[in-house]
């Protein structure tokens, strides 16, 4: 109560309608950039980058695996920060962003694990090893699933949002601890015999397409997050005038953007 | 400068999941006032009382205690309120006496606790674990707090549920006495109170509640 | 003349201990669970000491974790149902203090007894004798962490009818550092290494949890009970 008044400008900035309209203008550009980067990165990485001396062509999965893994972890922080903004400034929009980021992050984490397993079979002869990074990734998947499950466990959407935002924050405090613990655990049990290809030691010809793919994945993440959030906005704001106007426009004419 | 009222509610409203629970409400309560909160089931009487305990955060509007926003003096304010909700807050594995002692100020004399229980018709049940008491008796244990508490503002949510006629009469007597001593009471109930000077406030559900 | 209630850290600590004492059977069940599952391991793995020995540190820690988890679910449940949680929230004080009192009581009736009976399980699972002291030390500190972190999950799920399974989904990932350093402490003791190092990290985790968890629990309780 009370002290909210000083922050009205901030709330206007975080108004769902403002977000919807602004992102609507930027979406075509973002689509174009994402698609271009994805096509360039994939074609370059999968067709033109040189083969790996030991792994042959199977190493090429890193062009998907590494960017996806990056975003899986970054996505958790994006989700948690959105949740924290919601809790602190009571901004509806940021809960919507958080809610959209959770399934996206979980999917990326799963994809990172899946591509890792596919890569592992030809490389180490097994789909699964308890490597430090893989284990951390698995725990990250569980953290995402927890946030998702809690989000939908409550009848009240507000409670679900706030509760999962809190859980995401607790998870954020824990993630560095988990990662460090798992690293330590791994070195304790297995002196580094298997080492994942680390980027700096890669040949520049292999590395450049990877950079493009990482960039492409960031754009892709932003794109999907925005699209998800827009759907969420329409759903939550369906009773408001501007969404009704939008719907009327969409019904009557093709001029709906 | 006019004295600020004991409790002042300024256009308080509450939203849940984008639905306004009740229309903004304003009123003030002076020492010695009793306010009966009326409204249909689901109109937000409990929500209003819980907003006044600050267990819930209002979507807009403020509550002032002696002229100060309760957010600025939360603990001082909470020292002065006694809230009885739907659930009596009675621990089943504690005896009636243990429960009341737990819920009363630390400095309450043991005799005061025993006599408060006796006044509520629980003489002889002091040492009985509450799981063997009835729902009405649980409520009586909780209501015995009214006799031991030193809070000035009572927030009572349906206090007469599961209480028989004599019990209600006794409670009304307690409430009258509290008012005479300069207390204030906000009570939500569907019954008519046998207390003089009851002011009534209707909580109106918001127009858009549940509407699409 | 103060209107203060008995309801600070010590008030809730005492009340919850008294309540646990009144429900001794219920309070003992995590302990019995701990012993029971220890009996399953030789049946499932092998009765040979040589095969149980290497598994013992990890298994003891996993079982302690599960036993704590089982008991965490009820930490705020009865308070929520009977309305005393609401009274705790509107008491004129920092909510983190009664919360910490409740969690301390929880540790005293689960973590501490688990620590005290763990030597029996150590014997049942042929834990080498060098591992006993590190096991008890790590359990004492580690179960404190488990109680605190578990309480965050218990607070978030207290209003849900079937919160138990969800609770484990929420908190088990957060438990992982504790189990890593807990069983590592025991293993280090068995291997004749310096087991104070992992134990010190457990202690650091406990200190962090004591500082942060009560705030998170208080926030979660306020949020969940507001509905």
Give residues 182 to 211 of C whose Cβ lies within 8 Å of B: none
pLDDT at B3: 76
pLDDT on residue A3: 45
How does residue A4 score in pLDDT terms, banded at 50, 70 and 90?
Answer: very low
Which residues does chain C have within 8 Å of residue B74's beta carbon, measured at their own beta carbons?
92
Q: Are B29 and B5 in contact (CB under 8 A)?
A: yes
User: pLDDT tens for residues A70-98?
Assistant: 999 999 999 999 999 999 988 889 999 99
Residue A158 touches partner B, C-beta closer than 8 Å: yes
Contact check, Cβ <8 Å, A181/C172: no
Beta strands in chain B (DSSP E): 7-16, 19-29, 34-38, 60-65, 68-69, 81-84, 153-157, 184-188, 198-202
Alpha carbon of residue B192 to chain centroid: 17
Phi, psi dihedrals of residue C159, rounded to the nearest 5°: -90, 0
* Residues listed for chain C: 227
Residues contacting residue C150 through CB under 8 Å, at least 6 positions apart: C68, C69, C72, C75, C167, C171, C175
Predicted ipTM of the assembly: 0.90
Q: Which residues pair with C5 in a beta bridge?
A: B105
Nearest to C223 among A149, A153, A162 (CB): A162
Least confident residue range of A4-18, A98-112, B43-57, B187-201 = A4-18
Instruction: Answer whether residue B205 shows pLDDT above 80.
Output: no
pLDDT in tens, A136-174: 999 999 999 999 999 999 988 889 999 999 999 999 999
Does B60 lie at the interface with A, CB-CB under 8 angstroms?
yes
Confidence band of C6 (pLDDT split at 50, 70, 90)? low
pLDDT at A192: 45
Are B58 and A2 in contact (CB < 8 Å)?
A: no
C184-C189-C190-C193 Cα dihedral, nearest 10 degrees: 90
- The conformation of residue A46, written as its DSSP 8-state character, comes to I
Residue of B8, B11, B12, B17 to mutate for A, most A C-beta atoms under 10 A = B17
The pLDDT value recorded for residue A239 is 81
Please give the Cα distance from A214 to C123 (Å, whole number). Answer: 53
Q: Is the pLDDT confidence value at B136 over 80?
A: yes
Task: Work out the average pLDDT over C136-152.
Answer: 97
The Cα diameter of chain C in Å comes to 68
> Does residue A116 surpass a pLDDT of 80?
yes
CA distance C227 to C86: 11
The pLDDT value recorded for residue A187 is 78
Quick one: closest CA in A to C220, which residue? A163
Q: Do B212 and A156 touch (CB under 8 A)?
A: no
Cβ B89–C84 below 8 Å, yes or no? yes
Partners of B64 in the β-ladder: B8, B69
Q: What is the distance between the alpha carbons of residues C148 and C211, in angstroms, rounded to a whole number?
A: 10
Tokens of A72: 């899986």
Average pLDDT, chain C: 92
Backbone torsions φ then ψ of B198, nearest 5 degrees: -75, 125
CA distance B162 to B164: 7
Contacts of A182 in chain C (CB under 8 A): 176, 180
- CA B145 to centroid of chain Cα atoms: 11
Mean pLDDT within A98-107: 96
- From chain B residues 68-87, the ones with a CB under 8 A of any chain A CB are 69, 71
**pTM to 2 decimal places:** 0.90
Neighbouring CB atoms inside 10 A of A79's CB total 28
Rg (CA), chain B: 18
Beta strand B19-29 with B60-65: parallel, antiparallel or unpaired?
unpaired
When comparing pLDDT for A191 and A8, which is higher?
Answer: A8
Between B42 and B133, name the one with better pLDDT: B133
| Residue C125 DSSP class | T
Report, as an integer, the average pLDDT of B53-75: 90
pLDDT tier, C3 (very low <50, low <70, confident <90, very high otherwise): very low
The band of A8, judged by pLDDT with boundaries at 50, 70 and 90, is low
**Residue B208, pLDDT above cutoff 60:** no
* C159-180 pLDDT, tens digit each: 998 888 899 999 999 999 999 9
Question: What is the CB neighbour count within 10 angstroms for residue B193?
Answer: 19
Q: Where are the beta strands (DSSP E) in C103-215?
A: none
Residue range A239-246: mean pLDDT, rounded:
84
Residue with the bigger pLDDT between C156 and A252: it is C156
Angle at A81 between CA A75 and CA A87, to 5 degrees: 140
Q: What are phi and psi of B201, to 5 degrees?
A: -125, 130
Q: Can you list the domains of chain B with their CATH numbers?
A: 1-80+155-212 (3.40.50.300), 84-150 (no CATH)
Q: How confident is the model at residue A253 (pLDDT cuts 50, 70, 90)?
A: low
Q: How confident is the model at residue A121 (pLDDT cuts 50, 70, 90)?
A: confident
pLDDT at B207: 63
Residue B2 is predicted with a pLDDT of 61
Is the pLDDT at B51 greater than 60? The verdict is yes
Contacts with B9 from chain A: Cβ below 8 Å? none
Q: What percent of chain C has pLDDT over 90?
A: 82
Residue A170 has a pLDDT of: 94
Q: Is the pLDDT of residue A257 over 70?
A: no
pLDDT at B209 over 70: no
CA dist A99 and A85 (Å) reads 13
What average pLDDT does range B98-112 have in this prediction? 89
Name the residue with higher pLDDT: A23 or C4. Answer: A23
Residue with the bigger pLDDT between A202 and A139: it is A139
């Amino acid at each position: 109560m009370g002290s909210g008044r000083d922050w009205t400008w901030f709330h206007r900035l975080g108004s769902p309608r403002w977000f919807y309209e602004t992102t609507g203008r930027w979406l075509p550009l973002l689509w174009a950039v994402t698609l271009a980067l994805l096509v360039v990165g994939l074609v370059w990485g999968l067709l033109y980058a040189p083969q790996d001396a030991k792994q042959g062509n199977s190493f090429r999965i890193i062009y998907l695996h590494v960017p996806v893994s990056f975003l899986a972890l970054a996505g958790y922080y994006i989700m948690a920060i959105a949740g924290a903004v919601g809790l602190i400034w009571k901004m509806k929009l940021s809960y919507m962003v958080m809610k959209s980021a959770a399934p996206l992050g979980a999917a990326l984490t799963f994809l990172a694990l899946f591509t890792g397993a596919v890569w592992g079979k030809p490389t180490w002869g097994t789909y699964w090893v308890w490597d430090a990074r893989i284990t951390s990734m698995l725990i990250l998947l569980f953290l995402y699933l927890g946030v998702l499950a809690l989000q939908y466990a409550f009848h009240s959407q507000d409670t679900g949002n706030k509760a999962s935002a809190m859980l995401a924050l607790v998870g954020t405090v824990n993630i560095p601890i988990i990662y460090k613990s798992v690293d330590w655990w791994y070195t304790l049990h297995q002196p580094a015999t298997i080492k994942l290809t680390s980027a700096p030691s890669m040949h520049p010809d292999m590395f450049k397409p990877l950079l493009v793919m990482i960039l492409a994945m960031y754009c892709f993440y932003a794109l999907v997050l925005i699209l998800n959030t827009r759907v969420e906005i329409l759903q939550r704001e369906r009773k408001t005038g501007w969404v009704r106007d939008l719907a009327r426009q969409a019904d009557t004419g093709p001029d709906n953007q | 400068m006019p004295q600020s009222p004991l409790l002042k509610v300024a256009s308080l409203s509450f939203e849940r999941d984008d639905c306004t629970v009740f229309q903004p409400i304003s009123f003030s309560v002076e020492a010695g006032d009793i306010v009966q909160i009326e409204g249909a089931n689901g109109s937000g009487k409990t929500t209003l009382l819980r907003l006044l305990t600050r267990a819930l955060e209002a979507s807009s509007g403020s509550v002032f205690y002696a002229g100060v926003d309760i957010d600025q003096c939360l603990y001082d304010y909470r020292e002065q309120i006694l809230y009885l909700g739907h659930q009596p807050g009675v621990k089943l594995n504690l005896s009636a006496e243990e429960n009341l002692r737990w819920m009363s100020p630390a400095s309450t004399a043991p005799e005061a606790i025993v006599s408060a229980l006796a006044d509520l018709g629980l003489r002889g049940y002091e040492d009985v674990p509450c799981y063997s008491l009835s729902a009405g008796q649980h409520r009586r244990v909780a209501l015995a707090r009214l006799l031991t508490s030193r809070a000035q503002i009572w927030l009572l949510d349906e206090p007469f549920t599961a209480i028989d006629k004599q019990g209600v009469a006794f409670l009304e007597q307690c409430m009258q006495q509290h008012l005479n001593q300069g207390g204030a009471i906000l009570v939500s109930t569907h019954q008519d109170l046998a207390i003089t000077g009851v002011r009534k406030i209707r909580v109106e559900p918001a127009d858009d509640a549940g509407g699409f | 003349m103060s209107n203060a209630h008995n309801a600070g850290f010590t008030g809730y600590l005492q009340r919850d201990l008294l309540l646990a004492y009144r429900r001794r059977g219920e309070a003992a069940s995590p302990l019995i669970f701990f012993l029971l599952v220890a009996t399953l391991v030789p049946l499932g793995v092998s009765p040979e000491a040589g095969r149980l020995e290497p598994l013992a540190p990890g298994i003891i820690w996993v079982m302690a974790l599960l036993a704590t988890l089982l008991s965490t679910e009820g930490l705020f449940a009865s308070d929520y149902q009977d309305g005393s949680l609401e009274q705790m929230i509107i008491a004129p004080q920092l909510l983190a203090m009664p919360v910490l009192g409740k969690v301390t009581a929880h540790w005293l009736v689960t973590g501490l007894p688990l620590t005290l009976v763990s030597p029996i399980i150590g014997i049942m699972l042929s834990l080498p004798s060098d591992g006993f002291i590190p096991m008890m030390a790590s359990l004492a500190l580690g179960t404190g962490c488990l109680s605190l972190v578990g309480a965050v999950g218990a607070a978030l799920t207290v209003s849900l009818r079937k919160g138990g399974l969800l609770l484990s989904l929420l908190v088990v990932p957060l438990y992982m550092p504790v189990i890593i350093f807990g069983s590592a402490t025991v293993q280090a003791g068995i291997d004749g290494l310096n087991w104070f190092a992992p134990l010190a990290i457990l202690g650091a985790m406990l200190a962090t949890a004591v500082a942060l968890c009560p705030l998170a629990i208080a926030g979660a309780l306020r949020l969940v009970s507001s509905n």
